[in-house]
Amino acid sequence: MSPHVDPTRVRPGDTLPEVAETIERMDLIRYAGASGDFNPIHWNDEVAKAVGLPGVIAHGMYSMAIAARMVAGWAGDPAAVRRLKVRFSAMIEPGQTLTAKGEVAEVDGRRVLVRFHAEDEKGEKVLSKGEAELEL
Amino acid sequence: MPLNQALVGKVYPPVRYEVGREKLREFAIAIGETDPVYHDEAAARAAGHPDLPAVPTFAVVLSMRAGQVVYGDPDLGLDYSRVVHGEQEFVHHRPIRAGDRLLAAGKVAAATARGRHELLTLETEITTEAGEPVCTVRATLLSRGTAPPRHGSGT
């Protein structure tokens, strides 16, 4: 696969193509099975409500995976992603759309630092302080 | 009950994990990743990978297994029902790929009080069986309301 970006043309301030995903309960059940994270707050409303949540919420790692799709897709190569970090700052419920947004912060030769976040439909940050170090 | 500070720095016995192609495909499908490089061996080889690569967050599967060893240590004093996931970081030394035979060893990297809560950082070192570094995973968990009471605190 050829890189989606030309490393020689990457500049601070460049924005990454956004990735948006409407989260359905089935997505969370599928993610639970694939990841092995069967915490019932992600698929059982009764358990979620018993611990004070409005209902089931998405796995934080599911949201991070969506944001990572944006980063790796832009880089064009999973091997380019050297470091990936996020803070989980809000929860998101099924039926909501998560949108990942990112911007090039620093460029040093082939090494690129991308800052990113992911937000819900109201613009509240579900993932914040996202950082990705890439070697393009 | 506060976390046991004496365990900071402790490295737990590793769990073994053999990376299968279908597991990588299943995980990629579950996160909506359709790029052929994660699904089709020919596309992966054409892109320079010896076999199917994992998506960048797949390493969480191994770190959760390593974490179960750590959290299950009764000496740590972690009540998992009080835990909220705070931060997550992956440092990839090289991509995980199908056919890898890996070891994932969990470590209590930090346990610090923040107000009434505590922050626990689990660090998982993922290597091949031969010792090649593959990925370092850090998960910071918030343990709600377990910080030791401070002298003079009113509540």
Tell me the per-residue pLDDT of B43-73, one tens digit each, with 9 for 90 and over: 999 999 999 999 999 999 999 999 999 999 9
Q: Is the pLDDT of residue A34 over 60?
A: yes
CATH number of B5-19+54-143: 3.10.129.10
Q: What residues does each domain of chain A span?
A: 10-135
Report the SS3 class of residue B106.
Answer: strand
Chain A residues lying within 8 Å of B32, measured CB to CB? 21, 27, 66, 69
Nearest Cα residue to B62 out of A113, A96, A58, A37: A37
Q: What is the DSSP string of A6-67?
A: -GGG--TTPBPPPEEEE--HHHHHHHHHHH----GGGT-HHHHHHTT-SS----HHHHHHHH
The two three-digit tokens of residue A119, written as one number: 């937000």
Residue among B35, B43, B88 whose CB faces A86 most closely: B88
CATH number of A10-135: 3.10.129.10
**Backbone torsions φ then ψ of B111, nearest 5 degrees:** -145, 110
The residue with tokens 């890189």 is A3
Q: Residues B31, B57: contact at Cβ < 8 Å?
A: yes
Residue B24: band (very low, low, confident or very high) from pLDDT cuts 50, 70, 90: very high
Of B27, B57, B65, the CB nearest to A64: B57
The predicted structure's pLDDT at residue B152: 52
Determine what percent of chain A is predicted with pLDDT higher than 90. 92
Helical (H) or strand (E) element with B126: strand B117-128
Confidence of residue A22 (pLDDT cuts 50, 70, 90): very high
**Interchain contact, A78 vs B64, CB within 8 Å:** no
Average pLDDT of the segment spanning B24-52 = 97
The pLDDT value given to residue A51: 85
CA distance A118 to chain B (A): 14
Give the C-alpha separation, B141 to B86, whole Å.
5
| Residue A40 identity | P
Return the pLDDT at B151.
66
Confidence label for B81 from pLDDT (cuts 50, 70 and 90): confident
Tokens 């819900």 label which residue? A120
**Minimal Cβ distance to A85: which of B46, B85, B87:** B87
User: pTM of this prediction?
Assistant: 0.94
CB pair distance less than 8 Å for A1 and B35: yes
The pLDDT, as a whole number, for residue B146 is 87
Domain ranges of chain B: 5-19+54-143
Please tell me which residue of chain A has the smallest CA distance to B43.
Answer: A1
Q: Tens of pLDDT along B126-141?
A: 999 999 999 999 999 9
Quick one: closest CA in B to A27, which residue?
B30
Six token digits for residue B144: 């709600």
Which range, of A114-123, B46-55, B113-122, averages the lowest pLDDT? B113-122
Question: What mean pLDDT, rounded, does chain B reach?
Answer: 94
Q: Give the pLDDT of residue B154.
A: 45
What is the nearest CA distance from A86 to chain B, expressed in angstroms?
6
Q: Which residues contact A46 (CB under 8 A, 6 or more apart)?
A: none
Q: Write down the pLDDT at residue B148.
A: 84
Residue A127 is inside which H or E element, if any?
strand A125-135
Rounded to the nearest 5°, which phi and psi values hold at B24?
-65, -40
What pLDDT does residue A38 have? 93
What residues in A contact B35, CB-CB < 8 Å?
A: 1, 72-73
pLDDT at B155 over 70: no
What is the value of ipTM here, to two decimals? Answer: 0.95
C-alpha distances in Å from residue A66, one per residue of A60, A127, A133, B32, B76: 10, 11, 17, 8, 32
**pLDDT over 70, % of chain B:** 97
Residue carrying the six token digits 């990942």: A100
Query: What confidence tens digit (pLDDT) does each residue in A62-74 have?
Result: 999 999 999 999 9
